[in-house]
Structure 1
């Protein structure tokens, strides 16, 4: 009979915390900074609100917000404006709501959830309800709630129910077509 070691819940939680730190510490890449200098464009079936300083606008029906490489979609979005009449926060609901953005190295970040609360002026997005964030070069995370920092690409995750937070890490890129290393020949014995 072969016995296997069981991992306790405390050990599993410690492992998840360690993996979260590893993801947060992995080479940070910022969201494309030039996006903020681009105009924000929103399309939807209807809207309600006014474009006034410190105002609020509610868009409904096939909402698509773009600003440079940033694209957010959903069925309803509420935009909050600052004193200069710029969007500083957008709360998007959908089935699912989605977010896509390139970083300064032109690598994509894609997320989806039932709700996305993107605080543009504070550099983070909170995805709740079957939340997923995928970064092809780095990996992915899934959970009930994911908080993604758009400034340095760090993330935290939480699980409120029975399903755990799940993370996948991508291996470091290998040079295409590179041959595997061959072991050195054994050293010759001297007489």
Structure 2
């Protein structure tokens, strides 16, 4: 009986430890209906029902092109869709979600660039614009718009229930 309890305790504590590792240190898993790759050019293309996970990070798109020509750890993921979507739990289990017609994920800088009908939601607040750049690690963003359109930001006040 003691052995079973010890094994269970070790198993659950290792699961808790794994859950606390930062997403960017975990493996990236890609699922799609179809894939093509040029090993010589270090480019891979995934098409239809694309899902990429890395810990709590989840990006869904119609198409994904990965350019790995800059070497391991410097890959650039370009997701396209109508829209492509991103979600992740950040420190303190705070969710962040985003969507755009194109999401560019630069692994080296851990930066998302959302282009065309872009929007990002975090802590109940929403930012909309033509281009949003979001540094996942620093949780910093810049947003801009073109053609006389403006960036829209909507802050949701905290209620007593949320405090």
Question: Please, what TM-score do these two structures have when normalized by structure 2?
Answer: 0.78
Q: Secondary structure, in 3 states, of the residue corresponding to 1:161?
A: coil
1:139 aligns with 2:152: no
Partners of 1:33 and 1:104 within 8 A in 2: no
Contact 1:61 1:76 in 2 (8 A): yes
Instruction: Name the CA distance, whole Å, in 2 between partners of 1:159 and 1:58.
Output: 29
Larger Rg: 1
SS at match of 1:125: strand
Aligned length: 143
The alpha carbon displacement at 1:71 in A equals 0.6
Distance across 2 between alignment mates of 1:125 and 1:160: 19
Look up the match of 1:112: 99
1:25-104, aligned counterparts within 5 Å? 34-49=22-37, 55-81=42-68, 83-84=71-72, 88-104=75-91
> Highest relative contact order (Cα 8 Å, sep 6+), 1 or 2?
1
CA contact (8 A) 2:74 2:106 kept: no
Relative to the length of structure 1, the TM-score reads 0.67
Higher helix share: 2
Q: Distance in 2 between matches of 1:158 and 1:76?
A: 25
Over aligned residues, Cα RMSD in angstroms? 2.4
